[in-house]
Structure 1
Amino acid sequence: MRIAIENAAIATVDGEEAGTEYARGHVVIDDNVIEAVGDGAAPGAVDRRIDASGCLVTPGFVNTHHHLYQWATRGYAQQSTLFEWLTELYPVWSGIDEEITHAAAVAGLVRLARTGATTAADHHYLIPRDGGDVFAATVEAARQVGVRLHGVRGSMDRGESDGGLPPDDIVETLDGALRGTAEAIDRFHDPSPQARVRIAVGPCSPFSVSLDLMREAAKLARDKGVRLHTHLAETLDEERQCLAEHGCTPAELADRLGWLGPDVWFAHGIHFADDAVKRLGETGTGVAHCPSSNLRLAAGIARVQDLVHAGCPVGLGVDGSASNEDGGLGIELRQAVYLARLKNGPHSATARDGLWLATRGGARCLGREDEIGSLEPGKQADLAVWRLDTLAHAGIADPVAALVLGPLPPLKLLLVGGTPVVEDDEIRTVDETAAATALRAASGRLRR
């Protein structure tokens, strides 16, 4: 179908900053691709015209870091640091299986879609020995909900007996981790521009994997032509452990192991020294900024502005819902702006900076800037139509400020590749009540 969305404010995010904006413009979609964006009414004949008066159209949001399985364990370890939180939750997570993972992933992806996300990177590093095909369960959940998935096949091979944090019964062998990762790539990865599923390689973190796994995982990813992802520089505890074990910071260790480059993005990246920020920028290494999770665990405030100015791709991430019970991406735009201002003053970040991080910045992190992340002809038709005509946003003249700084608006429409996933603020692809029921049952079974 050829669809025209008209009479809306439009933020295209087609530049390094906010990009072109229209006070009352149109977006034309032909099948799954954006055909035209401009001022005024859409020219030519179309199959469907959507009157978006009182709305703002933006690119769909890109979530660059998540752990969907954690939707089954929200509310645990409420006053913990990261290491304390992991110590409490690892034994609980050892009970996840295919059914629990699928229920949690469906629920998490519905929440993401309801808050404007059209693409989600999910880092699944927990592979219980008797849990079934948990990675495939997440891929299937994304297919059902209808959002794009960057499935990061994670791994851990360093259990408690080797000085790691996770219990031994939920880690893999080195060979098993590499074999499982290669199988996931061969089975699910789609390199095409319109891909709904792509796979990345993701050893969990320097304190839960061996150096051999980090090295071999990087080699595997580059042999297969896929991206690399891991947690890095999230807490000072991690830095102290890295200095004690390896005599260097996490960023220096990543550099030694071949883990810097334009095909790599790190989760969190809070505690980077000046030389590390410069090195990440020089190599084009990305960072997924997770404001709410960082606040929940009191991990610190990432140097987002410094990273961006150094040339580092930076996007937004929700992180696992066990450390961010909201689970939606929409709130992260405001959190990112406010944290930047808290760290660097009120002039350091604007509402449009928040929108850029959630769209174009996220697409750049995932290596998809040519395909998604902005409203430009030839890109995939991933977009959100936000209603700003309710009481919650009445009187805010700047639509981008209303979206980012105000309460998250209801969605009139969310399209992924031109296909409606949310309409009139309701998910259209799955039964939301059934998803909540399944999640409740899965969470209860895991808790027991």
Structure 2
Amino acid sequence: MLQRFAARAVVVGDRAGTVVPDAVVDAEDGVLTWVGPAADAPPAADGAELTRLPGVLVPGMVNTHSHAPMVLFRGQGEGLPLDRWLAEVMWPREARLTPDDVEVAMTAASAEMLRHGVTTSVEMYFHPDRIATAVRATGARAVIANPLIGLPGFGSFEEQLDTAVRLSAGSDEQVEYGIGPHSAYTVPLPVLRDAAAAAREHDLLLTVHVAETAGEGDELLATHGLSVPQLLAAHDVLGGRVLGAHCVHMDDADLALWQEYDVAVAHCPGSNTKLASGTARLRDMLDAGIRVGMGTDGPASNDNLDLFEDLRLAAQLARLRERDATALTAPEAFWLATGGAAAAVGRPDLGQLTVGRRADLVHVDTDDIAFVPVTEPADLLTHLVWSVGSRHVRDTWVAGRQVVADGVSLTVDEPALRADVQTRAMRLAGR
């Protein structure tokens, strides 16, 4: 059945920042079939479902790097640097995780993201099958990378890789599986090589933390005489669908490798600033043609799952780093959370409101002083980036199915989930 959405405007989510005022969006079987001005819209078929929206329609955002079940640890380890935060707080608690913990936490986190206008996330966390169950329950989408990391209770690297490949046979348009070796400083280089070979063989996304902090590669550099990006290239890890998370401390030679191998970057400014990890060379990456998408990182290090906040921070930090108020424009910032993010994870069916893409839609309320004045259509996009936040998201659809209405989840019981997460978090903290 045809679904027709009529809105004050449509923000397409492309790099140019296209805004279509007085717009109509048509969808059928979860796919967009027409996007454009209402005056040019084709006649609606008899029985079409018409939804009139007073605000703007934007694409469902794509979160390129998340450990969403870490809502169980939100705010824990506050004030610690990354190495101590992981070793002293995160990893001991994660060792006590059960599959049920992960499913409950992911369900709550997925519902939170949908309320923020995030319809797809790239997840790297334990028990990926339970993460998939949670995502299917909320109605969101996810690319779920089975983690490879040497922690007690999670099996050998070989077993973890075998699990990733086995799960990938169950990928579909809602849940896609990938491989997520944690990093070069926690996963042996031969395992990284094998993981990359498996990812290329099965056309899976391989996502790995790279150059998040200044000193994480010091031991590898002392041993091998190469930076982490150079080591990954030397060990045949690059090539195929590779997504480097963070990529904060990259020199010119490292960026040249990313350009040569078409490695994408998950840019996580909220987490990087909170953990004092540094500021990525975002403008240089974009100028080099490197694919970049916004990511929140985990809610234990951000501490939220709100891409509106991260895209705004990305623009602010890029301008501050370059001392240039044009270093990242509002259209580019919004694109990094929508069309650019979809391209970064190799999903050209997501991230933009254009014909042939998935009908993942977000309605943002414009009946607010934050959307005044509007002297030309482009102002709507400017306000989305600089003046408005996720609090203005009213409704969310995934593949044409409404999953959030007037700010409330339609698929899961969020109050019950919050109470469940609280109980489980206390147990994991040993209290």
Q: Do both proteins adopt the same fold according to a TM-score greater than 0.5, normalized to the shorter chain?
A: yes
Amino acid at match of 2:37: D
Query: Does structure 2 retain, via aligned residues, the 8 Å contact 1:282–1:310?
Result: no
Q: Which residue of 1 aligns with 2:117?
A: 116
Per-residue CA deviations over 1:192-213 (Å, capped at 9, x if unaligned) read xxx1011111111111111121
Question: Residue 278 of structure 1: SS of its match in structure 2?
Answer: helix
Q: Which residue of 1 aligns with 2:407?
A: 425
Q: Which residue of 1 aligns with 2:397?
A: 415
Q: Which residue of 2 aligns with 1:336?
A: 314
Question: Residue 331 of structure 2: SS of its match in structure 1?
Answer: helix
Unaligned runs of 5+ in 1: 127-133, 158-167
Per-residue CA deviations over 1:12-62 (Å, capped at 9, x if unaligned) read 134xx2243212211111221111111134431252222222x12111100
Q: Which residue of 2 aligns with 1:45?
A: 44
Query: Does structure 2 retain, via aligned residues, the 8 Å contact 1:156–1:172?
Result: no
Q: Which residue of 1 aligns with 2:164?
A: 181
Deviation at 1:226, TM superposition (A): 1.2
Give the whole-Å Cα distance in 1 for the aligned partners of 2:29 and 2:202: 31
Within the candidate set 19, 22, 25, 1:24 is matched to 22
Within the candidate set 236, 261, 264, 1:258 is matched to 236
Deviation at 1:405, TM superposition (A): 0.8
Q: Write out aligned runs for 1:32-181 (5 A).
A: 32-41=30-39, 42-46=41-45, 47-53=48-54, 55-88=55-88, 89-124=90-125, 126=126, 134-157=127-150, 169-170=152-153, 172-181=155-164
Question: Residue 180 of structure 2: SS of its match in structure 1?
Answer: strand
Deviation at 1:261, TM superposition (A): 2.5
* CA gap 1:432/1:396 in 2 versus in 1, 3 angstroms: farther
Q: Which residue of 1 aligns with 2:345?
A: 366
Amino acid at match of 2:13: V
Per-residue CA deviations over 1:142-189 (Å, capped at 9, x if unaligned) read 0001111100001113xxxxxxxxxx5245323222222222223x32
Give the whole-Å Cα distance in 1 for the aligned partners of 2:260 and 2:162: 32
Unaligned runs of 5+ in 2: none
Question: Residue 91 of structure 1: SS of its match in structure 2?
Answer: helix
Give the whole-Å Cα distance in 1 for the aligned partners of 2:240 and 2:164: 20
* CA gap 1:436/1:446 in 2 versus in 1, 3 angstroms: same
Q: Write out aligned runs for 1:262-277 (5 A).
A: 262-277=240-255
Identity across matched positions, percent = 32
Q: Which residue of 2 aligns with 1:129?
A: none
Amino acid at match of 1:181: A
Give the whole-Å Cα distance in 2 for the aligned partners of 1:7 and 1:72: 37
Q: Which residue of 2 aligns with 1:402?
A: 383
Question: Residue 209 of structure 2: SS of its match in structure 1?
Answer: strand
Query: Does structure 2 retain, via aligned residues, the 8 Å contact 1:123–1:152?
Result: yes
Per-residue CA deviations over 1:261-313 (Å, capped at 9, x if unaligned) read 34101100111111211221122110000010001100011111211121111
Amino acid at match of 2:383: A
Amino acid at match of 1:150: V
Give the whole-Å Cα distance in 1 for the aligned partners of 2:133 and 2:269: 28
Within the candidate set 346, 363, 366, 1:385 is matched to 363
220-229 vs 336-345, greater mean Cα deviation = 220-229
Question: Residue 64 of structure 1: SS of its match in structure 2?
Answer: strand
Aligned residues: 421
Query: Does structure 2 retain, via aligned residues, the 8 Å contact 1:232–1:268?
Result: yes
Per-residue CA deviations over 1:304-326 (Å, capped at 9, x if unaligned) read 12111211110011111110112
Question: Residue 49 of structure 1: SS of its match in structure 2?
Answer: strand
* CA gap 1:171/1:50 in 2 versus in 1, 3 angstroms: closer
Scaled by the length of structure 2, the TM-score of the pair is 0.94
Deviation at 1:395, TM superposition (A): 3.0
Q: Which residue of 2 aligns with 1:160?
A: none
Amino acid at match of 1:399: L
Deviation at 1:393, TM superposition (A): 3.2
Deviation at 1:383, TM superposition (A): 1.6
